[in-house]
Amino acid sequence: MGVTRTVVREGAGRTPNAGEVVKAHYTGRLKDSGHEFDSSRDRGKPLTFVIGIGSVIKGWDEGISEMKLGEASTLHVTSDYGYGREGAGPIPPNADLEFDVELVAIGNDAIPGNSSVSTCEAFGIQLCAVQ
Given the residues 49, 51, 61, 83, the one annotated as active site? 83
Residues pairing with 74 in the sheet: 6, 100
106 close to 22: Cβ distance less than 8 angstroms: yes
Instruction: Confirm whether 57 is a catalytic residue.
Output: yes
Cβ 71 vs Cβ 105: under 8 Å: no
Catalytic residue among 57, 64, 91, 106: 57
User: Is 81 considered catalytic here?
Assistant: no
Q: Which of 64, 99, 106, 123 is catalytic?
A: 99
Is residue 38 among the annotated active site residues?
yes
Q: Out of 37, 80, 96, 111, pick the active-site residue.
A: 37
Q: Is 123 a catalytic residue?
A: no
Neighbours of 78 (CB within 10 A): 18
Catalytic residue set = 26, 37-38, 57, 83, 99
